[in-house]
Amino acid sequence: MTKDATSTRQDQRAAITRWHGTEIENFHTAQIARQVTDLIQQGRTVIPMHFGQPTAGTSPAAQAAAIQATRDDPIGYVESRALIARIAQHYQTTYGLSVDPARILLTAGASPALVTVFTALFNVGDRVVVGRPGYPAYRNTLKALGREAVEIDLDPVTGYQMTGAMLDSIAAPVQGLVVASPANPTGAVLNRQAFKSLSAVCARRQMTMISDEIYHGITYGERAICALEVNPDAIVINSFSKYYRMPGWRLGWMVVPTDLIARLSAYVINFFITPPTIAQTAALMAFDDHISLDESVAGYRHNRDQLLAALSAIGIREMHCPQGAFYLYIDVSHLTNDSMVFCQRLLQETGISTAPGIDFDPIRGHEFLRLSFALRPDQINQATKGLVTWLKAQPTRSNAPSAKAPAGPSST
Ligand SMILES: Cc1ncc(COP(=O)(O)O)c(C=O)c1O
């Protein structure tokens, strides 16, 4: 270990005893992102498969609207009525749902929406169910707030699906459920029946259902079910970061039950006042850019199929075929039991950045990687070739666990 690393560890230990508050896990992927920045500064080309962000960038129409706004708009605190109305219309046209615009609250992305909901709807000590593997911020944010994440182990053999029976098997007391469909990191999509059975358990056990719908619009078969189609009491969280290709603009929204509008509006304004004004102007334009956005989704599908075919051909196991989002979550247990070091070596040796499974699953994630395939056409061939060549060259672990029966890849 270097002297710098040793003193950083010591500083961290000193900070734990010196400051009040709660330590939570960092995203390990953030460390990979810093290494990516260092490599780019050294003049290396990196194919970015670590963060879940479309490399195609925001649509030109949205960017042009934002540039115009910097000239014409005083850029005050704004909650755009036009954008809220457009979001309400989206629920009608996409899901056939009539949503009162008053139920839509704008946020600076899905992340602040999660903080708001976890704070406003649960008390210290409350228990909230999440899937494992799952998005790390659920677990970490709940912990930061003194709430407890209760993890349900999801299995590739059953397509990483959470069922009503699994939820019902969690011992009382339990106050909430976070469900994500399509899910990060697996791309698993829940069908209407699954939502119905989860909703029935939530209703019977008086649990609040929070549905993270950030990957809606990015599906490779049937469109994703909105929780509100099945459960009118669900809290829906969505964002412009993924389908709308606007991650850095920091904009999202919640749809909340009528009797929670006042409570949640108070939390949002106290915590954040309003989301970025320019982002709201740009997002309004992004809504009407379906041709370009759907072209991106068609590209992700092509990327998914290409990667799945290439990685199955070299014996990567337990490869679940994602039905949505833009990630492959792959089992590399025959090659490593330290996914972080594996990602770091892969990055150094090939210039391909990936996310270690430990972010998504503290129990089994040391044997998994997540690959984001939201890449441009010019990047996917290089990514596929580079991954296949490098993975094939890695020695097999002598004490590797034996493979489970694979669930896929199945086709859509
Ligand atoms: C499942 C899930 N929820 C929420 C977020 C946070 O997204 P946002 O950029 O809207 O804060 C992400 C980001 O990757 C995600 O994957």
Q: How far is the CA of 370 from the centre of ligand 1 (A)?
A: 15
Name the pLDDT band for 406 (thresholds 50, 70, 90). very low
Q: What is the per-residue pLDDT across 122-162, written as a single tens digit (0 to 9) for each?
A: 999 999 999 999 999 999 999 999 999 999 999 988 899 99
Q: What tokens appear for 146 in the block?
A: 């003194």
Name the pLDDT band for 102 (thresholds 50, 70, 90). very high
Q: How far is the CA of 110 from the centre of ligand 1 (A)?
A: 6
What's the pTM? 0.93
Q: How far is the CA of 189 from the centre of ligand 1 (A)?
A: 16
Nearest-CA neighbor of 208 among 282, 119, 141?
A: 119
Q: How far is the CA of 138 from the centre of ligand 1 (A)?
A: 10
Residue 315: which residues within 8 A CB-CB, separation 6 or more?
Answer: 334
Nearest-CA neighbor of 242 among 15, 84, 116, 58?
A: 58
Q: Where are the alpha helices (DSSP H) in 96-188?
A: 110-121, 136-144, 164-168
State the Cα–Cα distance between residues 289 and 373, nearest whole angstrom: 21
Q: What is the DSSP letter of 152?
A: E
pLDDT reported for residue 64? 94
Q: What is the per-residue pLDDT across 158-208, written as a single tens digit (0 to 9) for each?
A: 899 999 999 999 999 999 999 999 999 999 999 999 999 999 999 999 999
Asked whether 184 and 215 are in contact (CB, 8 A), the reply is yes
Number of H helices, E strands in the chain: 13, 12
As a whole number, mean pLDDT of residues 247-266 equals 98
Residue 281: which residues within 8 A CB-CB, separation 6 or more?
Answer: 65, 66, 68, 69, 73, 80
* Average model confidence (pLDDT) across the chain: 93
Q: What is the distance in angstroms between the CA of the first residue and the CA of the last residue of the chain? A: 48
Going along the chain from its start, the domains and CATH numbers come out as: 20-57+291-392 (3.90.1150.10), 62-286 (3.40.640.10)
**Ligand 1 and 212: CB distance under 6 A:** yes
Burial of 98 (0-12, 13-18, 19+ CB in 10 A): exposed
**Ligand 1 and 111: CB distance under 6 A:** yes
Q: Does residue 173 have a cis bond before it (omega within 30 degrees)?
A: yes
State the Cα–Cα distance between residues 132 and 149, nearest whole angstrom: 10
Asked whether 146 and 310 are in contact (CB, 8 A), the reply is no
Amino acid at the residue 328:
L
Rounded to 5 degrees, what are φ and ψ at 280?
-65, -40
